[in-house]
Amino acid sequence: MRISGKQLFWMMMTMQIGMTVLLTINPSIRMAKQDAWISTLCATGIGVGIAYVCTRVSLVFPGQTLMSYAKSIFGRYLGQGVAWLYFIYWYSVLAVILRQYAEFIVATILPRTPILVPILGMLLVAVYVTYSGIEALARCCEMLGPITLLGIAIPVLLSMKNIHLDNILPIYADTGVKVILQGALPTSTFLGDCMMLLILLAFVSKPTSGVRPALLGVAITGLVTSISTFLIVSVFGERTASGQTYPYFNLVHYISYYDFFQNLDSFVVAIWIMSVFTKVSLYFFICTYGTALGLGVQKWRRLMGVVAPAAVLIAVIPRDFIESSVIFPQKIAIPFFFPLYSVSLPLLMWGLAHWRQNRHK
């Protein structure tokens, strides 16, 4: 199974841009207020840094996935434990993505629909494309990626006529470095999903050719999020925007040209569903393929019948929107998952890998 560096770029960008723009702008504005756009810029740098570290780790062991080289870095048993820790995280995130997607669909376009219906619908599509392998998923991203990017960027450009620069003033004076960095954490956590490069880079035909596209995909996602945050704050003001669950969705609803070009909500929902589909499919592939490697199952597709029901069971655990989209990100993902899985472990693996490599030489 082989993909190109160009396809890896579209995978990173398409996977991250939809949910990052929709779900992280509101918490950033709550924390950093009118300087939230600076926070998302800082988050862009953090995300690119995480992607760089993950690619460096993978390049030390070209053609190998996390399940293989973790044992070379930490030893057989400790390395296996570290790899399974990552898969516990990936299973949890896969389930939360499905639940957040279902909550959004029920809240916006399909009220009175049982929460299990959108969860199963999205998961079945992900199972279908994942069964065809990573190449089919990469081709889907290569086709859907430009559509997704344009679908997110065009409403942002159309909103520029409604800008009120007074809403972003004063810059930095009311916040400071600490508050701005706190506001960067929600976006950084979503951009930290690029740590799946610990597995995906092994499938690139020439691993070194995938580094720059991977970094560029994360950077573009962060920049689009920062520009969107700037526009949302300048159009609505930080007080109004902080009270909106989906401020980007409201920004699109606010667009109107001559009372003709308006009501783009359904168009944006379709674009967002493409991004969610990519993210769910990638996480499902990683969970299935990695579990098969860990258990020594050669035909990894056989475990799709185990991973899919497990994801559904975990997805229905949260009782409501608050638990899935507020408590989980703020109480679990940001304080625990992000510093451990996105920052500490990749840096530790990078350092130990180079130390072992130099010692061996």
* Range 212-228 average pLDDT: 94
At 204 the three-state DSSP class reads strand
pLDDT at 260: 65
pLDDT at 259: 66
pLDDT tens by residue, 105-126 = 888 788 888 999 999 999 999 9
pLDDT at 261: 66
How many residues make up the chain in this entry?
361
pLDDT at 13: 93
265 close to 252: Cβ distance less than 8 angstroms: yes
pLDDT at 127: 93
> Would the pLDDT of 271 be above 90?
no
CA proximity to 102, closest of 117, 85, 89: 117
DSSP state for residue 3 in the 8-state scheme = B
Give residue limits of the domains in the chain: 5-352
pLDDT at 223: 94
pLDDT tens by residue, 132-171 = 889 999 999 999 999 999 888 888 888 888 888 888 888 8
The correct answer on CATH 1.20.1740.10 for the domain covering 5-352 is yes
Helices 134-158 and 5-23, interaxial angle, to 10°? 50
> For tokens 């976006």, what's the residue?
187
Token pair recorded at residue 241:
């925007």
* Range 66-81 average pLDDT: 87
Predicted structure pTM score: 0.91
CA proximity to 196, closest of 90, 308, 79: 90
DSSP string for residues in 229-289: HHHHHHHH-HHHHHT-SSHHHHHHHT-EETTTEE--HHHHHHHHHHHHHHHHHHHHHHHHH
If pLDDT is split at 50, 70 and 90, which confidence band does 128 have? Answer: very high
Q: Across all residues in the chain, what is the average pLDDT? A: 88
7 close to 141: Cβ distance less than 8 angstroms: yes
